[in-house]
């Protein structure tokens, strides 16, 4: 079966500030990533997605761009970048850049010109609006980071839209000159060898041009997946700024650019939406993006087989070509380990089984998957004091919302060096949690039963298994809190079985197939899994892949 890497890509997300520091200033950099490419290649992934490393005042740590085509000096220079791309390709890894095309920094020359007058050549490159009759903002739209989504500019005597920080003004995607300029920045990097783009908050590109108020959220209306229960941003239904139908009409221009460079991947982040699954499906329809990801698996409520069955059933209906990219977390969400653990109800052995089950689930689901750095180690969410916070979102909303610093602490490479081997500087930009040292790469390398080595085995098996390269997925009814589905076509099929129970279960295999030769065990999460007399026995949180 010919493999298009985009169909079932396993992508490793790197947050460069926290991955590896090569110049000992306490901040990770491009040369640090280069040093650790052998580690990533050995994990068995297809590609790396690197969070922003282009020029930025760093008010939102790179997601506020002041020059799309220059490297931020703290991360290196163009030579560092070009060497990284070359060495990644030599290691068999694709390179995805994070492109922040919804907004720029207020220090970007485009915005500086746009704010200078109402009639300059770039006057309409951002979203400007007149004050309301009382002199206040044009409407009730809120910024995702807190407060109003509008900032008043004294020079133009108008408000500009910012869905995030006030220092991150939104580009006006209705302006064809803006879209052309954005495409040119994409072409700049494609010409330099990148294999695709992760598109930050792609469903925010367009806004409601009537500037109508957002309606209040009904008291009985659920909040979107991943939304904080106390986050005031979700007190309204944010229809004016999120997942506008106009955005879908603009995406073919991005796809046309990507298609000029065969094999290029466009991966879209679908964020802060009312129905992230349905919205993501619309973004990957023919001629738009190749893949999209959302917050469906980003929850602090431990899933049961039944809730996952419902989710997967809906996704199979909406994504017939498996164009969903599954992820348990990114740099924007609390750590997987802190959300899905037993919260003290399980002993250490069961916690470890649960970790392995989740790794196997990510590997077995139809479509692509994304692994955030450190999740393969089982890193926990870091608990930081207010004085240690660096995230503007967390600082502004403390203590109701703790922000994103807890999932952005440095990678622990070894347990016998200061700062876990991340940097030789006296201190890192965020502290290294002491409990992370016990989970360091060096320590897990030497333990064949570690979570890191389990991820390695699973990812390599996934890549080598034709049944997991697209094809059909058949979902079976839940039995005894066990999720079961079959992947593949013809003779190349694999039955994926996940026990979400803390008890041993025994399943009859006859309901899953009419085959007469029976099943045999392939990959499993435990030596205790076995097939006997047409039955599968799975230990607590056990996983088995059957052929």
pLDDT 10s digits, 242-256: 999 999 999 999 999
For residue range 87-116, list pLDDT tens digits in order.
999 999 999 999 999 999 999 999 999 999
pLDDT score of 406: 94
Helix (H) or strand (E) holding 55: strand 54-55
Q: Give the structural domain span for 120.
A: 105-172
Q: How confident is the model at residue 344 (pLDDT cuts 50, 70, 90)?
A: low
User: Looking at the domain assignment, is residue 1 inside a domain?
Assistant: no
Based on the structure, what is the number of domains in the chain?
3
Considering 133, 134, 220, 260, which one is annotated as catalytic?
260
Look at residue 482 and give its three-state secondary structure.
strand
pTM of the full structure: 0.95
Highest mean pLDDT, choosing among 94-103, 376-385, 491-500: 94-103
Both tokens assigned to 268: 């879209």
pLDDT digits (tens, 9 = 90+) for 125-180: 999 999 999 999 999 999 999 999 999 999 999 999 999 999 999 999 999 999 99
Same structural domain, 132 and 197: no
Residues 358 and 393 in one domain: yes
Domain contains 467: no
Measured CA to CA, the distance from residue 464 to residue 453 in angstroms comes to 17
Of the listed 46, 200, 269, 486, which one is catalytic?
Answer: 200
The answer to whether position 3 is within a domain reads no
Residues 399 and 505 in one domain: no
Integer-rounded Cα Rg, in Å, for the chain is: 24
**In terms of domains, do 419 and 537 share one?**
no
Which of 63, 459, 47 shows the shortest CA–CA distance to 290?
Answer: 47
Give the model confidence (pLDDT) of 135-144 as tens digits: 999 999 999 9
Residues 299 and 241 in one domain: yes
Same structural domain, 397 and 457 = yes
> Is the same domain home to 360 and 270?
yes
Q: What's the confidence (pLDDT) of residue 525?
A: 66
The CATH number given to whatever domain includes residue 154 is 3.90.400.10
Distance of CA 21 to the CA centre of its chain: 22
- What is the DSSP annotation of 123-156? TTSB-EEPPPTTSS-SS--B-TTSSBSEEEETTT
Pairing of strands 482-489, 473-475: antiparallel
For residue 343, pLDDT over 70 is answered with: no
Shared domain check, 131 and 201:
no
Q: Among residues 462, 488, 506, which one ends one of the domains?
A: 462
Residue 337, in any domain of the structure: yes
* pLDDT tens-digit readout, 286-307: 999 999 998 788 877 778 899 9
Task: Give me the sign of the Cα torsion angle 153, 154, 156, 158.
Answer: positive
End-to-end CA gap in the chain: 18
Tell me, yes or no, if 246 is annotated catalytic: no
Residue 5 lies in a domain: no
Confidence band of 351 (pLDDT split at 50, 70, 90):
confident
Query: 462, 491, 521: which is the final residue of a domain?
Result: 462
Query: Average pLDDT for residues 380-409, to the nearest whole number?
Result: 91
Q: Which CATH number covers residue 495?
A: 2.60.40.1180
Q: Same domain for 81 and 116?
A: no
Is 195 annotated as catalytic?
Answer: no
Please tell me whether residues 447 and 532 are part of one structural domain.
no
Res 281 pLDDT > 70: yes
Residues 62, 193, single domain; the answer is: yes
Answer with the one of 136, 152, 172 that is the final residue of a domain: 172
Residue 22 sits in a domain whose CATH number is 3.20.20.80
Q: Using alpha carbons, select from 270, 419, 403 the residue that is nearest to residue 331.
A: 403
Claim to verify: residue 195 and residue 168 sit in the same structural domain: no
């Amino acid at each position: 079966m010919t493999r298009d890497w985009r169909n079932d890509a396993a992508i490793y997300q790197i947050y460069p500030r926290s991955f590896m520091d090569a110049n000992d200033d306490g901040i990770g950099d491009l040369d640090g990533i280069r040093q650790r490419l052998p580690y990533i290649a050995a994990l068995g992934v297809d590609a790396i997605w690197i969070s922003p490393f282009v020029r930025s005042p760093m008010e939102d740590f790179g997601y506020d761009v002041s020059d799309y085509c220059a490297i931020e000096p703290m991360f290196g220079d163009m030579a560092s970048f070009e060497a990284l791309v070359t060495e990644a390709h030599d290691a068999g890894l694709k390179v995805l850049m994070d492109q922040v095309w919804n907004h720029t920094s207020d220090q970007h020359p485009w915005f500086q010109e746009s704010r200078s007058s109402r009639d300059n050549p770039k006057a309409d490159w951002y979203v400007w609006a007149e004050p309301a009759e009382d002199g206040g903002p044009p409407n009730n739209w809120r910024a995702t980071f807190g407060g109003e989504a509008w900032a008043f500019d004294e020079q133009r005597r108008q408000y500009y839209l910012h869905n995030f920080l006030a220092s991150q003004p939104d580009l006006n995607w209705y302006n064809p000159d803006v879209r052309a300029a954005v495409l040119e920045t994409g072409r700049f990097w494609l010409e330099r060898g990148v294999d695709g783009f992760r598109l930050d908050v792609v469903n925010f590109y367009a806004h409601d041009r009537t500037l109508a108020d957002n309606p209040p959220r009904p008291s009985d209306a659920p909040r979107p997946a991943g939304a904080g229960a106390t986050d005031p941003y979700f007190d309204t239904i944010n229809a004016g700024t999120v997942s506008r139908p106009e955005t879908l009409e603009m995406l073919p221009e991005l796809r046309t650019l990507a298609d000029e460079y065969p094999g290029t991947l466009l991966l879209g982040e679908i964020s802060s939406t009312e129905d992230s699954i349905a919205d993501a499906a619309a973004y990957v329809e023919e001629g738009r993006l190749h893949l999209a990801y959302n917050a469906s698996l980003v929850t602090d409520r431990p899933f049961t087989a039944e809730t996952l069955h419902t989710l997967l059933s809906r996704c199979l209906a909406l994504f017939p070509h498996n164009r969903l990219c599954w992820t348990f977390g990114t740099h924007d969400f609390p750590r997987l380990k802190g959300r899905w653990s037993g919260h003290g109800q399980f002993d250490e052995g069961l916690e470890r089984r649960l970790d392995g089950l989740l790794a196997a689930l990510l590997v077995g689901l139809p479509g692509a998957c994304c692994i955030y750095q450190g999740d393969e180690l089982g890193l926990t969410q870091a608990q930081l004091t207010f004085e240690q916070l660096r995230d503007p979102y967390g600082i502004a909303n403390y203590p109701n919302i703790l922000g994103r610093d807890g999932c952005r602490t440095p990678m622990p490479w070894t347990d016998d060096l200061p700062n876990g081997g991340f940097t030789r500087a006296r201190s890192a930009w965020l502290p290294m949690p002491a409990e992370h040292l016990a989970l360091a790469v060096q320590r897990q390398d030497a333990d064949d039963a570690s979570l890191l080595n389990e991820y390695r085995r699973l990812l390599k098996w996934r890549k080598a298994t034709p049944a997991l390269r697209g094809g059909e997925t058949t979902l079976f009814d839940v039995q005894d809190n066990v999720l079961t589905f079959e992947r593949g076509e013809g003779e190349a099929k694999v039955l994926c079985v996940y026990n979400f129970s803390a008890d041993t279960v025994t399943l009859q295999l006859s309901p899953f197939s009419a085959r007469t030769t029976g099943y045999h065990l392939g990959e499993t999460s435990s030596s205790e899994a076995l097939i006997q007399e047409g039955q599968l026995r799975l230990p607590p949180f056990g996983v088995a892949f059957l052929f």
